[in-house]
Structure 1
C-alpha cells in the first residue's frame, strides 16, 4: 500500500517513470491487489496498451471476475485492443465484458461506457447499424454523454442522414460546454481514448 500511495501524486503530475518504479514494487509485493490497477494506469495514463493487456490477463488468472475502477478486466482489454486496431479481439473483449456485467441470469445492467466503446468499435468496422444501436443504448442511460452524441452524429453522417448527424453533433458540443464528460475515474488527470474536445465537434460541423 505504501508504494502505491507514494505513486499517486506522481501519476497525477505526469511523472510516470518515477510512479511506475513504485507501482512495480507494489505489484511484486501484492499482485492480486495491484496488478489490475497497474493495467488501468497503462491503459488510461501512459497508453501502453500491450502492457495493459498483459497486466489484465495476469489479473484475470488470479480473479476472473475481478473489477478495476468499476469495470471488468475485459473492458480495459477491449479499449486497448481497439486502440491497437485489433478489432476482432476488441469485439470479443467487449462481448465478454457485457456477459460479465449481465451475470449468470443475463439481467444485469451494462455500463454506458461499455456501450459507448462497443459503438466506437462498430463505427470503425463500418457496422453503422450496430454502432447506432450501441450508441443509442448508451444515451438512454446518459443523455448528455458528449462522445456518444459525437460518434452517433458521425455514424448518421456515414448513413447519409445529415439532419440527424447535425442534431447529435450539436448536442455533443452543448454537453461539453455544460461540463459533461465521459464520467470515469481520473477523468481530470488523463484523457480517455476517444475522448473529444469542442474543437473536434466544431470541425465535424463544418
Structure 2
C-alpha cells in the first residue's frame, strides 16, 4: 500500500510539472522533452531503466515532443530486454525514421545480438555506411565492420566474414595498433580459418587472442586444442584443453549480457573434448 501511494504521488508530481508549465510553446515542449531525456532528469532519477516510474517520465517526454527520437529509443529498451519485440520494434523503428544517423546502426546491433537477424543487421550496417561514408561507425561502442563480420559469420558466408574482420583489424593497426583491436575479432577470424581447414592460420589468430588477453581466454585455448588435435599433436591439445577449463571456471570466456554470443562455448563442450583427447 505504501509503495502504491508513493507511485501515485510520483505520477502526480510528474503531471503537476507539466500542468504548472502550461501552456508551453512547441519549442518549449521540445526543449523540455530533450531536458528529460538528454539532460539531468533521468540521470538524477532514482528509478532504474525499465521501471514504471522511469517509463512514465519517458512517455511524458514523448507526449511533449512526439518527434524526439532519443525518447522513442529510450522507451523501447525495456521491451527489448524483456523479450517483447512487438512493443520494441515500432518504437525503435520510429527512432530510426526520426534520426537515422544516430540510431540505424544501433538497430543493426540489436538485430545482430538480440534477434540474430543477420540479413536485417547487414542492411542497417550498410545503410549506416551510406549515411556516414567517411568513417567507420561504432554503435554501442562496436565497429560496424566488426559487426558485419559477425553477421556474415552467422550466415556462414566465411569469405565476406573474413573480409570484414580483416578490414576492422587492419583499420585498428593503421590508427592505433593491433593491440587495440577487440580480441574477439581474432577469435572469430580464427574460427573461420578452422572451419575452412586452414589450421596454421587459425592457430596464429588464436595465439593472438592469448597474446592480447594475458594468456587467459577459454575460447582460444579450446580452439587451439581442436587445431592441435587435427594435427595429431595430442600433448599440446591436452595442454590447451586443460587451460581452457581453468579459464572457463575463472570466467575468462566470450559472453554478453542478455544474449548468447555466436559460437559461445559451454563447459560441456570443453569436458567433451577433454574426454575425447584422453581416449586418443
Q: Judge same fold: TM > 0.5, yes or no.
A: yes
- Report the number of matched residues: 203
TM-score, normalised on structure 1?
Answer: 0.91
Match of 2:158 in 1: 87
Range moving further from structure 2, 17-26 or 32-41: 17-26
For 2:238 and 2:176, locate their aligned partners in 1 and report how far apart those are by CA, in whole Å: 39
TM-score, scaled to structure 2: 0.68
Separation in 2 of the partners of 1:181 and 1:195?
8
The alignment yields a C-alpha RMSD, in angstroms, of 1.8
Tell me: higher relative CO, structure 1 or 2? Use CA pairs within 8 A at least 6 residues apart.
1
Partner of 1:189: 258
The residue that corresponds to 2:112 in the other structure is 43
Counterparts of 1:172 and 1:16, CA distance in 2: 36
Structural mapping, 1:157-196, within 5 Å: 157-182=229-254, 187-196=256-265
Deviations 1:72-125 (A, max 9, x none): 111111111112111111111111111222235866732211111111111111
**Greater CA radius of gyration, 1 or 2?**
2
Q: 1:134-158, CA deviations, whole angstroms, 9 ceiling, x for partnerless residues?
A: 1100111112222122112111111
Which runs of 5 or more structure 1 residues have no equivalent in the other structure? none
CA contact (8 A) 1:16 1:46 kept: no
Distance in 1, matches of 2:205 and 2:136, equals 23
Q: Closer, same or farther in 2 for the Cα pair 1:178/1:130, shift >3 Å?
A: same
Residue 89 to residue 24, structure 1, CA distance change in 2 (3 Å)? same
